[in-house]
Amino acid sequence: MGKNKDEFVKEITNIEDDIAQWYTDIVRKADLADYTEVKGFVTIKPYGYAIWENVQKYADEKFKETGVENVYFPILIPENLLEKEKDHVEGFAPEVAWVETAGSNKLEERLCIRPTSETIISTMYSKWLNSWRDLPMVYNQWCNVIRWEKETRPFLRSREFLWQEGHTIHETEEEARNRTLQMLDIYDDLTQNLLAIPTIKGRKTPKEQFAGAEETYTIETMMYDGKALQSATSHYFGQNFSKPFEIKFQNREGKEEYAYQTSWGLSTRLIGAIIMAHGDNRGLKLPPKVAPIQVVIVPIAQHKEGVLDKANEVFAELKKNFRVKVDDRDNYSPGYKFNDWEMRGVPVRVELGPRDIANGVCVVSRRDTGDKQEVKLTELSDTIEELLVDIHNNMYAECEKRLKERTTVAHTLEEFEKQINEKQGFIKTMWCGDVACEDKIKELTAAKSRCMPFEQENLGETCVCCGKKAYRMVVWGRQY
């Protein structure tokens, strides 16, 4: 028989005691993923993968509305291609896995498993591009990549992860810059409207840019413990790749010109963001729009005549509008099931017992607040529709409240240190633009610059670190 509520909940580490262990518990006990025997490589289980499919579907539709076309480039990249752009190879070479043998044959040139595909895609663009009439090329691929990270954590930092990488080339700088920001806006919309997580949108400092980019733009989010997660990025390359890779075209004046390029990506890391932004001591808490199961129906006294029939009838009705499941397992108690689905973060639970059925009602609970209400079966579908919207908004508001409460302004390094140690979160400061100040802040506080937000505020005239003339307002934070 099922365990009682308290026993069950004890299996998850308290989030305030040890958030890292809490995270691992959720990943495994909510059946999102499991470890394999190779460090840093996880298996994404059906419940976790279904979240990813919902992210994919949402993003892919938005991409295609803007003219993105999907493609597939090889996973193996010859070493000579990786080396063509100096910053890029420096950034990625320490993390790439190399194939040197196939079958029993040593390869003539070793091939790396893509850590990202700028080099192979630039090579092909160079081959395909002739005239301004061929532009733009706005391609994207959904695929796996490998980066041999030292510290790993399921979803947040895996040696293999799934992502989409968009790569575009354009006739003009302006068009490429617009595309960079257009895709950032899609990521921003997705993070807020699908995942119910508020964002800070801005530009990375040069130190934190993608290896080879001229500018990197980012969507930054705050997790449960006040740490930052970089949720998606969009890069403007200018001609940094098009020159070494010779991506040239005849422009409208008949002259040879190098194309302007972008790339942009989001990954299965977003599943980690969902866990860390919304979860609590009862487990996972899924935003309704991305939840694989939006409504779970738990029959009470399901052995009694008519209960399962009615549950299935309600299921058939709700299935028209929602992702819904009946939990008719006969070897667990309703109490166990309640806890189980709470732990898995299902937004709405419907309880249905013999007395409810006789009265034409059911009990509806929401995962975010725990509130329960009795609802007429005839009004159930409408009620759930409203509830899901309300749950999304409430989850977003909770995160927004935290983001506000844990974002503070610092004018001096002493304030900075004190604030980040007392109330781990984001610190807003003015900054001179010098990487030395970033390095010093990181050394002192373990915080990195998250971005120079688009929404700049004037917090003073001088850099928080060196006191020299300020260049921009920066948001800082410790990161996942």
Where do contacts with a copy of itself occur on this chain (CB under 8 A)?
34, 36-38, 41-46, 49-50, 52-53, 69-76, 78, 81, 93-104, 111, 113, 120, 123-124, 127-128, 133, 139, 143-144, 146, 148, 160, 162, 331
Q: Given the complex with a copy of itself, which of 119 and 234 has the nearer CB atom? A: 119
CB of 99 or CB of 436, closer to a copy of itself: 99
- Helix residue ranges per DSSP H, 142-287: 173-189, 269-278
- Tell me how far apart the alpha carbons of residues 377 and 145 are, in angstroms, rounded to a whole number: 48
User: Quick one: tokens of 72?
Assistant: 């597939």
- Residue 31 CB, nearest approach to a copy of itself (Å): 9
For residue 209, the minimal CB distance to a copy of itself (Å) is 21
**Closer Cβ to a copy of itself, 32 or 361, answer by number:** 32
Instruction: Give the nearest distance from C-beta 141 to a copy of itself in angstroms.
Output: 8
3-state SS of 267-307 is ECHHHHHHHHHHCECCECCCCCCCCCCCEEEEECCCCCCCH
Q: Compare residues 79 and 175 and give the one whose CB is closer to a copy of itself.
A: 79
Residue 82 or 452: the one with the smaller Cβ distance to a copy of itself is: 82
Supply the minimum distance, in Å, between the C-beta of residue 76 and a copy of itself.
6
Torsional sign, CA 63, 65, 71, 77: negative
What one-character DSSP code corresponds to residue 152?
-
Report, in Å, the least distance between residue 171 CB and a copy of itself.
16
Q: How many CB atoms lie within 10 A of CB 247?
A: 25
Residue (44 or 59) nearer to a copy of itself, CB? 44
Nearest to 269 by CA among 435, 414, 367, 154: 154
Give the shortest CB-128-to-a copy of itself separation in angstroms.
7
Tell me the C-alpha distance between 223 and 479, whole Å: 9
Query: Looking at residue 208, what DSSP letter applies?
Result: G
Query: Cα separation of 342 and 295, whole Å?
Result: 11
Residue type present at position 112: C
Residue 222 CB, shortest distance to a copy of itself, in Å, is 28
- Comparing CB distances to a copy of itself, the nearer of 103 and 370 is 103
| Residue among 273 and 413 whose Cβ is closer to a copy of itself | 273
Angle at 449 between CA 444 and CA 450, to 5 degrees: 135
> Shortest approach of a copy of itself to residue 143 CB, angstroms?
7
Q: Residues, the chain, total?
A: 480
Give me the phi and psi of 13, to 5 degrees please. -60, 145
CA distances in angstroms from 61 to 66, 101, 131, 266, listed in the order given: 9, 39, 29, 14
